[in-house]
Amino acid sequence: MNGAPRAVAGAEPVPAGRDAILEVRDLWSGYGDTMVVRGLDLRVPAGQTVVIIGPNGHGKTTLLRTISGLVKRRRGEVWLAGERVDGRSAEYLATLGMVHIPQGDLLFPDMTVEENLLMGAFLPRSWRKRHAALEHVYGLIPGLRERAGQRARTLSGGERRLVGLGRGLMREASILLIDEPSLGLAPVAIERVYAAIRDIHAQGTTILLVEENFTHIGDVADIVHVVEMGSIVRTGPLEELSRDQTVVQTYLGTL
């Protein structure tokens, strides 16, 4: 789908020729009567890593969950690779290549690491290639192969995060949604997780990443959006935003 770059509020104009894998228009979503995502517009161009920063409770996780189909949107549109997908089920979106690596990992607790990974390749096409995918993931993420037979519920926080990441990589993704990969981890573990993310980014995978603050996203972020109260309030490359004192104070201060 070739189109002239569209000016959507809150997003940088995209250089001609780069298609948007994911496009979100005026999205409203929440729980019950409470709207947490409020009129959010977003574009994720192919091959880029778009990072969303913001305080907790301001809709970042809900945004990802709405995009991936776990939460029903109240209003607005979601487009994946030119197909309108808002309102579709999470299972259907998975078949379109949407891979959501959720906050809290959501591993299958009584399955082994390898079984968790295999579930990542559940879809028929991916299932046929599961052995190769398994090898690929074992190679990419350290420490998984050794724990292949270990029950997920016995893993440490960092190990779980890596399994979650690996599980998301077991199939071909049109876009990876990653929700706060550094949450609750010790610095060493965070570094390992982000090393893997950097590798994935380097391979050209389109990524929408959510984090609470700037600390680790330096090498991966192509564009950063700041989300407050459910919509995007600032946008720009990381260097530009980190020169803005108000932003720095708010988001570098929170750790």
Partner 1 sequence: MHLTDVIGILVETVVLGSIYGLVAIGMTLIYGTLRILDMSQGSMVMVGSFVGWGVLVVAGWSPALAILFAFAITFALGTFTELISVQPLMGRRGFDFEMVTFITTFAVAIVFANVALQVFGPFQKNVSPVVSGGIDIYRGVDLSYQNLTMALVSIGLMAALGLFLARTRWGLAIRAVAQDLDAARLMGVPVMRLYPLTMGLASALAGIGGVFLGAKFFAYPGAGDLPLLEALIVVIFGGLGSLPGTLYAAYTIGLIQATAEVLVGTTWSLPILYGIILLILIVRPHGLKGRPEEARL
Partner 2 sequence: MSAVTAPGATVSPTATRIGRGRALSGAEKAGILALVAVAVLVPFVWSNDYAVGVMVTAMITLVLNISWNFVLGIAGVWNFGQLAIYALGGYGTGLLMLHTPVPPPLAILLGGLLAAGVSILLAFPTLRLHGIYTSLLTFSFAQVFLFIVVNDPAGLTGGSFGFPTVRGLYSFLPPTTALHAYFWTVLAVAAAATLLVAWIRSSRLGIALRTIRDSPAYAAARGISPLRYRVIAFAISGFIAGVAGGLYLSYNQSFTTSAMGLTPMSIDVTMLVIGGLGTIWGPILGTGVLTGLQVSLVDYPGIQLTILGTILLVIVVFVPSGLVGLLSQIRSRISAWVAEDEEADDAAVPIAREES
Residue ranges binding partner 1 (CB under 8 A): 68-70, 89-91, 94-95, 99-100, 102, 106-111, 115, 118-120, 122-123, 127, 167
CA dihedral 200, 204, 40, 233 (to 10 degrees): 80
Tokens of 84: 């309108």
35 binds partner 2 (CB under 8 A): yes
Least Å from the CB of residue 200 to partner 1: 17
CB neighbourhood size of 168 (10 A): 20
Least Å from the CB of residue 154 to partner 1: 14
Counted residue by residue, the chain has a size of: 255
Binding mask 193-232 for partner 2 (x = CB under 8 A): -----------------------------------xxxx-
Least Å from the CB of residue 236 to partner 1: 31
110 binds partner 2 (CB under 8 A): no
Proportion of the chain in helix, strand, coil states, percent, rounded to 5: 35, 25, 40
Look-up of token digits 């993931």: 137
Q: Which is nearer to partner 1, 126 or 231 (CB)?
A: 126
The binder of 233, among partner 2, partner 1, none, by C-beta within 5 to 8 A per type, is: partner 2
Give the separation between CA 75 and CA 245, rounded to whole angstroms: 34
- Label residues 48-84 b or e (16+ Cβ within 10 Å = b): bbbbbbbbeebbbbbbbbbbbbebebeebebbbbeee
Helix, strand, or coil (residue 126): helix
- In sequence order, the 6+-apart residues with CB closer than 8 A to the CB of 117 are 134, 137, 144, 163, 166, 167, 170
Tokens of 224: 């950063």
Q: Which is nearer to partner 1, 91 or 199 (CB)?
A: 91
Q: Which is nearer to partner 2, 36 or 44 (CB)?
A: 36
In the Cβ-directed half-sphere of 194, how many Cα atoms lie within 13 Å?
21
Among 14, 20, 25, 30, indicate the residue that binds partner 2 (CB under 8 A). 30
- Considering only residues 39 to 58 of the shown chain, the ones binding partner 2 according to CB under 8 A are 39
Tokens of 101: 């690596």
Q: Which is nearer to partner 1, 8 or 207 (CB)?
A: 207
Q: Which is nearer to partner 1, 76 or 120 (CB)?
A: 120
Q: Which is nearer to partner 1, 161 or 167 (CB)?
A: 167
Chain residues that interact with partner 2, rule: CB under 8 A: 28, 30, 32-35, 38-39, 74, 228-231, 233-234
